[in-house]
């Protein structure tokens, strides 16, 4: 039954949308849809705080859960009418299960959790959403918020390992691994760093063509000296024979670049240039132009001292200019 | 036989159906069926996709620009007589609150009426694209509304009532300040800190600190810094090189948004434009990118979808075109990679800003 025909709503004048004489991107609503929202607009105008208003917001949400004004008004009513927030948690749980990629529903849940100051259902709920879509950005974002806000770090690494076992290529889970460790033990201790390096290499042995694992490995080492981690270069060169990938080769280039920054050797530069060539011509041809560009820039940055001497140029001056870039 | 067939398929896929796309955007600007209800509060952004899309196609002549300009101005939240709502000013996404149609002030006092940062951004860009001179925009009110949205950590909310806050809205804010040529609407330093804080261990940018790096957020980060004129101040050469690498690894055929995710037409713009801003788009594979975008073209109704054999929508239709424009597809206007409008519309903006500066100089 339309709201316009209900006796208990007769006191309200419905408010239609008014787009003027030349509406643009007009959405053709059914009578039912317009009826609900005409009464929503009427309630909004007088800022009515009542149970009938609260009930109507649920209908409005069902028709369009992306209307952020409806959600905001519902939150105003939740507080003004002192509604049962546990019941609201049940409600928002159902809505998110139906529409897990909507921004408004996750924001609403966050507000209710904050009001209740009770995160106890969150990790399990989010795990359930992730079981349906393990890369849902909203779910991971909410999870990080809950963990950080309420200090729920204890079991998260275990959760990460479980998900990586299910899908070692899930980039969101690798990101979560970094999130957990950087906020708990950190990566400064050699024991932890080495554990993580070995963990990466083991995952790479199982699934070599995995950008996420290589990005993680590079990520934790890039500011700690990629070429100085004991035995790593050797392990990577070994893997190159049996578990090669564009990511392995790119990692190798980055190792050589790091080495060159500390000790500019012709041999190292040549190796780096060779790998760039191999990537460009054979192993990562879609990025051919990029690898050739990188090759040129490495060449120009680390042009060797003996070459410069042959050109009769003071090596110090030229390398100052080059390395200043 | 198989080779002939695949050559024929390739030719069909390469055929860019300009007129279908023009009609797709025309229909978008008219009436959409009820199943698009979730777009109600963002109708102005949908208008932007269509209008800017028509601009890229050099087909703005098919629409009534003046009528559209009026509709946009009816969405402006103007100051009330007593100016008590300044922190809520800007543009609405649509008429969904029920304010009676009006293109001029003073504003109407309503307990829940306020602008939305993405609507203020797309409202201003749409006006520019349609050739308007922004003379009816209350710039000070827009900037006051914008200021009210920035949080301590430098990020922005979308609306003054409160919403999620993240890097998307920093981008919207940067566009607004850039267009209005007035950065008093935001604390640039704090915004830069938030952006830097959003850089992931893998050198892409997430929606905020700790979050997974993503092509869309990386665009927001880099484009914002470019608009602010602070790219090289905020990021070192080493960081920029690492970001370039993260971005360029997103190409699989077309581009995806995150490692190990499927490609999607819109990332041809988000990641493509970022690469262009970082001067390395020239090193991507244009042919594979083009082939992917065109494989998502809807040959019947026009527009583009995220994937082949999927339903087209205004966002992917627009960004698919922008992706093609970046690689220099003939008969498409060039797009300004940071502001995401055609260079033509950008030149109009520059002329306007020159006029404002000249007028400011002559005012006593």
Put simply, whether A115 touches B (Cβ < 8 Å) is no
Q: Which of B32, B98, B110 sits opposite A27 (nearest CB)?
A: B32
**What pLDDT is attached to residue B12?**
45
Range of the domain at A22: 1-83
**What pLDDT is attached to residue A230?**
84
Q: How far is B27 from chain A (nearest CA, A)?
A: 8
The answer to whether position A290 is within a domain reads: no
Put simply, whether A324 touches B (Cβ < 8 Å) is no
- Under an 8 A CB cutoff, do B101 and A20 touch? yes
Which of B37, B94, B237, B291 best tests the A interface by mutation, with the highest count of A CBs <10 A?
A: B37
Number of domains in chain A: 1
Phi, psi of B16 (to 5 degrees): -85, 120
Q: Is A206 considered catalytic here?
A: no
Distance CA B150, CA B191 (A): 9
Q: Which helix (H) or strand (E) holds B32?
A: strand B31-33
Mean local confidence (pLDDT), B133-152: 98
Put simply, whether A45 touches B (Cβ < 8 Å) is yes
Residues B4-47: tens digit of each pLDDT: 555 555 544 578 999 999 999 999 999 999 999 999 999 999 99
Q: Is the pLDDT of residue A295 over 80?
A: yes
Instruction: With beta carbons less than 8 A apart as the criterion, state whether B146 and B174 touch.
Output: no
- The average confidence (pLDDT) of chain B is 95
pLDDT confidence bin for A325, thresholds 50/70/90: very low
- Under an 8 A CB cutoff, do B211 and A175 touch? yes
Residues A16-47: tens digit of each pLDDT: 999 999 999 999 999 999 999 999 999 999 99
Higher pLDDT, A48 or A306: A48
Report in angstroms the alpha-carbon separations of A201 from A177, A192, B161, B342: 15, 14, 48, 46
The answer to whether position A187 is within a domain reads: no
The answer to whether position A13 is within a domain reads: yes
**What pLDDT is attached to residue B361?**
77
Identify the burial level of A152 via C-beta atoms within 10 angstroms of its C-beta, where 0-12 means exposed, 13-18 middle and 19 or more buried: middle
Q: Is the pLDDT of residue A277 over 90?
A: yes
Nearest to B324 by CA among B275, B348, B291, B357: B291
**What pLDDT is attached to residue B14?**
72
The answer to whether position A267 is within a domain reads: no
The answer to whether position A76 is within a domain reads: yes
The answer to whether position A109 is within a domain reads: no
Chain B residues in contact with A80 by the CB 8 A cut-off are none
Q: Which of B30, B41, B288 sits opposite A286 (nearest CB)?
A: B288
HSE, CB side, 13 Å, CA atoms: give it for residue B171.
Answer: 22
Identify the burial level of A72 via C-beta atoms within 10 angstroms of its C-beta, where 0-12 means exposed, 13-18 middle and 19 or more buried: buried
The answer to whether position A128 is within a domain reads: no
Chain A residues in contact with B159 by the CB 8 A cut-off are 68, 72
Nearest CA in chain A to B205: A175
The answer to whether position A60 is within a domain reads: yes
- Under an 8 A CB cutoff, do B41 and A45 touch? no
Contacts of B360 (CB under 8 A, 6+ apart): none
Q: Is the pLDDT of residue B148 over 70?
A: yes
Q: Which helix (H) or strand (E) holds B119?
A: helix B117-129
């Amino acid at each position: 039954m339309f709201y316009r025909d209900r006796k208990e709503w007769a006191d309200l004048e419905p408010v239609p949308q008014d787009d003027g004489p030349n509406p643009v991107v007009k959405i053709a609503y059914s009578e039912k849809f317009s009826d609900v929202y005409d009464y929503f607009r009427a309630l909004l105008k007088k800022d009515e705080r009542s149970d009938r208003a609260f009930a109507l917001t649920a209908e409005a949400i069902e028709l369009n859960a992306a209307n952020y004004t409806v959600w905001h008004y519902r939150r105003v009513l939740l507080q003004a009418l002192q509604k049962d927030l546990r019941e609201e948690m049940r409600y928002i749980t159902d809505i998110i299960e139906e529409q897990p990629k909507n921004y408004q529903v996750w924001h609403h849940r966050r507000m209710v959790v904050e009001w209740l100051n009770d995160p106890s259902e969150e990790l399990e709920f989010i795990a359930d959403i992730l079981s349906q879509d393990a890369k849902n950005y909203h779910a991971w974002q909410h999870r990080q918020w809950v963990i950080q806000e309420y200090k729920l770090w204890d079991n998260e690494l275990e959760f990460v390992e479980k998900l990586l076992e299910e899908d070692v290529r899930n980039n969101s889970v690798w990101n979560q691994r970094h999130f957990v460790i950087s906020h708990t033990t950190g990566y400064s201790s050699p024991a932890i760093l080495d554990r993580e390096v070995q963990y990466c290499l083991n995952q790479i042995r199982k699934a070599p063509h995995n950008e996420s694992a290589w990005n993680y490995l590079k990520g934790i080492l890039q500011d700690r000296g990629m070429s100085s981690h004991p035995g790593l270069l050797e392990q990577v060169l070994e893997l190159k024979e049996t578990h090669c990938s564009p990511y392995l080769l790119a990692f190798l280039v980055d190792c050589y670049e790091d080495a060159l920054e500390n000790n500019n050797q012709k041999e190292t530069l040549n190796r780096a240039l060779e790998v760039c060539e191999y990537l460009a011509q054979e192993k990562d041809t879609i990025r051919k132009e990029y690898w050739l560009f990188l090759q040129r820039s490495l060449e120009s940055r680390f042009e060797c001292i003996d070459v410069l001497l042959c050109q009769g140029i003071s090596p110090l001056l030229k390398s100052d200019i080059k390395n200043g870039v | 036989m198989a080779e002939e067939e695949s050559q024929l398929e390739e030719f069909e896929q390469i055929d860019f159906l300009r007129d279908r796309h023009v009609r797709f955007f025309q229909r978008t600007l008219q009436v959409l069926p009820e199943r698009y209800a979730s777009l109600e509060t963002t109708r102005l952004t949908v208008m932007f996709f269509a209008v800017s899309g028509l601009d890229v196609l050099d087909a703005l002549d098919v629409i009534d620009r003046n009528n559209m300009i009026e509709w946009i101005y009816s969405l402006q939240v103007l100051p009330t007589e007593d100016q008590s709502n300044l922190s809520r000013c800007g543009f609405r996404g649509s008429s969904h609150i029920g304010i009676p149609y009006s293109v001029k002030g003073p504003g109407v006092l309503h307990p829940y009426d306020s602008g939305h940062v993405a609507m203020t951004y797309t409202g201003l860009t749409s006006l520019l694209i349609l050739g308007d001179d922004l003379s009816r925009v209350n710039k000070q009110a827009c900037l006051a509304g914008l200021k009210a949205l920035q949080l301590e950590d430098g990020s922005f909310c979308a609306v003054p009532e409160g919403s999620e806050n993240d890097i998307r809205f920093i981008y919207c804010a940067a566009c607004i300040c850039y267009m209005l040529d007035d950065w008093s609407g935001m604390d640039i330093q704090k915004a830069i800190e938030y952006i830097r804080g959003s850089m992931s261990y893998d050198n892409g940018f997430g929606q905020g600190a700790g979050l997974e790096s993503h092509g869309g957020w990386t665009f927001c980060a880099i484009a914002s810094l470019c608009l602010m004129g602070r790219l090289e101040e905020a990021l070192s050469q080493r960081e920029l090189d690492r970001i370039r690498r993260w971005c360029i690894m997103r190409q699989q055929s077309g581009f995806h948004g995150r490692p190990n995710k499927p490609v999607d037409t819109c990332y041809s713009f988000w990641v493509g434009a970022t690469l262009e801003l970082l001067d390395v788009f020239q090193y991507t594979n244009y042919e594979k990118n083009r082939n992917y975008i065109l494989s998502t073209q809807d040959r019947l109704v026009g527009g583009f979808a995220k994937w082949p054999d999927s339903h087209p929508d205004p966002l992917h239709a627009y960004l698919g075109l922008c992706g093609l424009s970046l690689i220099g597809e003939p008969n498409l206007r060039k797009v300004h990679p940071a502001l995401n409008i055609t260079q033509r519309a950008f030149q109009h903006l520059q002329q306007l800003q020159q006029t404002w500066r000249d007028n400011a100089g002559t005012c006593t």
